[in-house]
Amino acid sequence: MARALALISGGLDSGLAAKLVKDQGIEVIGICFKSAFFGCDRAIKMCEQIDIPLKVIDFSEEHLEMVKNPKHGYGKNMNPCIDCHAMMLNYAGKLMKELNADFIVTGEVLNQRPMSQNRQALDIVKRESGYEEYILRPLCAKNLPETWMEKEGLVDREKLLGISGRGRKVQMELAEKWGIKEYPSPAGGCKLTDPGFSKRLKDLLTYNKDAKVDDVDILNIGRHFRINENVKIISTRTQDEFKMLKPMIKEGDYVFDTLDVHGSTVVLRGNPREEDIVLAARIAARYSKAREEKNVRVKYRIYNQNKYNILTVEPAKDEEISKYMI
């Protein structure tokens, strides 16, 4: 029996592509990639629905390094889709020998995305993956040259599809036919396609060329303010956000809390001047229950130092700090 590795994002297209191949009597193993920008929860649900095993690959550090400087640039936001797909296929190609697989399956559809899934982009992805000959795109295979897997009879080309364009009608009909009920909207699982997250990531990479995965993780939490090239401030919105932020605080970070009332915990990261410290305290006061008061006491310390300092400040005004918000 032939065996295929199917890249499973958790989206509908990748699940349908794997199912199409599986229904030809081919053993299919799902491969999901985990990074700082997407996880595998949706892929797990998809593989349960189409009844295939799933192998999770965490390539967070290598993926982040690629995102910093993608060879083929970004899409509408900070999404380097061409480089990302090529990297995933390269990983899958290296796994073929280990898992005794014959070829790789992806859910890409010709012209579904104008920049990353046009004919030229699909060809670039195949070529730069290093495993060009082993890639099958079942959903649009009839619009592409015949692969050796089809020529040799491992895969029946007549049972593959010729989908093209951005329409989803065929995919949704297949999902209903096969009982696939849980799937996200297209590109819904990647933070790099989100404009708000992309703005924060661009800021991070502009001021921290050596950013690591934990620097990216903190972008998901709270309000972010870029004060200057040396200072960034993060303000939590809820107690749950504080719990998430706490293990991410680093040596040298400044931590601010209002002293007499409940409010936001504020973290200042960088090399602050005196006025930056005062502004961080004022932001902590702004997002506290004393935001309407004239004078609010704020305590702060450098993380892991026992000594607190206390400032009495006027809460920052929204119009004053809006220019800093990322």
* Mean pLDDT along residues 103-122: 86
Q: What is the pLDDT of residues 231-283, one digit of tens each?
A: 999 999 999 999 999 999 999 999 999 999 999 999 999 999 999 999 999 99
pLDDT band at 186 (very low <50, low <70, confident <90, very high): low
Task: Note the pTM of the prediction, 2 decimals.
Answer: 0.91
Where are the chain's structural domains? 3-186, 221-324
79, 193 in Cβ contact below 8 A?
A: yes
CATH domain 3-186 topology: Rossmann fold (3.40.50)
Q: What is the pLDDT of residue 182?
A: 84
Q: What is the pLDDT of residues 272-298, one digit of tens each?
A: 999 999 999 999 999 999 999 999 999
Q: What is the pLDDT of residues 63-77, one digit of tens each?
A: 999 999 999 999 999
Q: Dihedrals φ, ψ of 64, to 5°? A: -60, -40
Distance in angstroms (rounded) separating the CA atoms of residues 107 and 15: 7
Residue appearing with tokens 């920049």:
115
Strand residues in 263-325 grouped as ranges (E): 266-270, 296-302, 309-313
